[in-house]
């Protein structure tokens, strides 16, 4: 199977310019299920990255005691308590997992997705819950994306000795589960079981806690805006890495924070737009 590069040429064909006569409804409403008492940072990071990637509206669901943390850091986001799962009609896409923990309460979020039809990004603790509780994939009758790092991948699909082994299992699993798998790392690999892609952007400044949480917010944002699962993952992975590369103009790999990278998502879009005109 040919390994295609996710580079500017590839992304130029995927990205759709924002129409000048659009409104917030045009760009979708994303739901992020993220954060818990010790890991609200994951929810804040994912939410900021989601909003910086163009979504029209964002609602974040988490434990109610942490409401003020969200409002103080991101006034643009709306809050919903866990009952949100009873009515998913306002949303166009769901991202679940960053910082939610692996307890029984978080497990309920996974169960409540069974009737859902919206596209879903499963990341971090959502992947760990699926692995720990041996959730049957047949319950997921909606388009979905899995974004594991190598350790999460092995928890889901068994221990592997090498990246090339993981890549070939990822292709098989994506085909069998009818989903997109994003195997994260230095050169992130994406597959839908039919095509395979390798990202060309990003640097080791991303090798820090929270970088993956930002990626989840970005992919969820693109799904809510109407991109397919494969398009949203390609765009998210490429722009996440490009924003990190742009951050190297003012920071080093050592000093870079994921919040710096999120602030540079705008320059990454500008770079992309300048190559399209
Ligand atoms: N501010 C917040 O609130 C934050 C909250 N967060 C939230 O915390 C939760 C736990 O998530 P987590 O990923 O930190 O824990 P876990 O699943 O045990 O994996 C860690 C181990 O995996 C490995 N590994 C990773 N990448 C690899 C690679 N490329 N190549 C090879 N190995 C790799 C590596 O293992 P090692 O190499 O050390 O054996 C690493 O030590 C989750 O919900 C997340 O969203 C975090 O995002 C941080 C910021
Ligand atoms: N050396 C590296 N070069 C390029 N990208 C990297 C590197 N290290 C990590 N990344 C990227 O950073 C992100 C890390 O995700 P993850 O491990 O889930 O972090 P966290 O759970 O702490 O948010 C992934 O998108 C990965 O591709
Ligand atoms: Mg992660």
Q: What is the pLDDT of residues 47-99, one digit of tens each?
A: 999 999 999 999 999 877 778 888 899 999 999 886 677 789 999 999 999 99
What is the number of domains present in the chain? 1
Lowest-pLDDT choice from 78-92, 147-161, 187-201, 235-249? 78-92
Does residue 57 sit in helix, strand or coil?
Answer: strand
Does residue 62 sit in helix, strand or coil?
Answer: coil
- Residue 183: give the domain boundaries: 3-276
Ligand 2, atom 22, lies closest to the CA of 209
Residue 244's nearest CA partner among 231, 271, 263 is 263
ipTM of this complex:
0.97
- Whether 46 has a pLDDT exceeding 90, the answer reads yes
Question: What average pLDDT score do residues 178-200 get?
Answer: 98
2 touches 59 (CB < 8 A):
no
2 touches 196 (CB < 8 A):
yes
**CB atoms inside a 10 Å sphere around CB 199:** 25
Which pLDDT does position 85 carry in this prediction?
Answer: 76
CATH code (residue 19): 3.40.1190.20
Position in ligand 2 atom list of the atom nearest CA 204: 1
Strand order in the sheet with 196-199: 3-6, 196-199, 189-191, 180-183, 144-146, 120-122, 93-96, 29-33, 57-61, 78-80
CA-to-CA distance for 109 and 96, rounded, in angstroms? Answer: 9
Question: What average pLDDT score do residues 33-56 get?
Answer: 96
Tokens of 178: 């009818």
Which pLDDT does position 65 carry in this prediction?
Answer: 79
Which pLDDT does position 1 carry in this prediction?
Answer: 83
Position in ligand 2 atom list of the atom nearest CA 123: 18
Question: What average pLDDT score do residues 156-173 get?
Answer: 98
Strand partners, 5: 198
Which pLDDT does position 77 carry in this prediction?
Answer: 96
Q: Kindly report, residue by residue over 217-272, the tens digit of the pLDDT.
A: 999 999 999 999 999 999 999 999 999 999 999 999 999 999 999 999 999 999 99
CA-to-CA distance for 140 and 122, rounded, in angstroms? Answer: 11
Sequence-ordered list of residues with C-beta below 8 angstroms from that of 129, at least 6 positions apart, any chain: 102, 106, 107, 110, 135
Cα 208 to ligand 1 centroid, rounded to whole Å:
9
Which pLDDT does position 35 carry in this prediction?
Answer: 94
Question: What average pLDDT score do residues 200-225 get?
Answer: 98
Which pLDDT does position 66 carry in this prediction?
Answer: 78
Q: Which residues approach ligand 1 with their CB closer than 6 A?
A: 39, 41-42, 98-99, 124-125, 149-152, 185, 209-210, 212-213
Strand residue runs (E) in the chain = 3-6, 29-33, 57-61, 78-80, 93-96, 120-122, 144-146, 180-183, 189-191, 196-199
List Cα–Cα distances, 233 to 58, 61, 175, 215, 253, in angstroms. 18, 22, 16, 9, 24
Which pLDDT does position 215 carry in this prediction?
Answer: 99
């Amino acid at each position: 199977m040919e390994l295609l590069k996710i580079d500017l040429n590839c992304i130029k064909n995927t990205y759709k310019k924002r129409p000048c006569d659009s409104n917030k409804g045009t760009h979708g409403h994303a739901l992020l299920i993220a954060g818990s008492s010790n890991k609200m940072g994951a929810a804040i990071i994912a939410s900021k990255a989601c909003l910086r990637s163009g979504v029209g509206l964002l609602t974040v669901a988490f434990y109610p005691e942490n409401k003020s943390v969200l409002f103080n850091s991101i006034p643009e986001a709306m809050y919903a308590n866990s009952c949100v799962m009873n009515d998913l009609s306002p949303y166009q896409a769901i991202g679940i997992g960053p910082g939610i923990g692996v307890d029984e309460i978080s497990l309920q979020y996974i169960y409540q997705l069974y009737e859902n039809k919206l596209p879903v990004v499963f990341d971090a603790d959502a992947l760990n819950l699926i692995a720990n509780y041996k959730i049957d994939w047949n319950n997921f009758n909606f388009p979905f994306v899995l974004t594991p790092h190598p350790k999460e991948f092995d928890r889901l699909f068994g221990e592997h000795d090498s990246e090339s082994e993981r890549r070939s299992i990822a292709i098989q699993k994506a085909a069998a589960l009818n989903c997109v798998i994003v195997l994260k790392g230095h050169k992130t690999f994406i597959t839908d079981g039919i095509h395979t892609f390798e990202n060309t952007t990003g640097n080791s400044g991303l090798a820090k806690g929270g970088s993956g949480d930002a990626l989840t917010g970005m992919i969820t944002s693109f799904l809510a805006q109407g991109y397919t699962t494969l398009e949203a993952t390609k765009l998210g992975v490429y722009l996440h890495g490009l924003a990190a590369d742009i951050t190297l103009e003012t920071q080093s790999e050592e000093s870079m924070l994921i919040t710096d990278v999120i602030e540079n998502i705008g320059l990454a879009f500008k770079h992309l737009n300048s190559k399209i005109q």
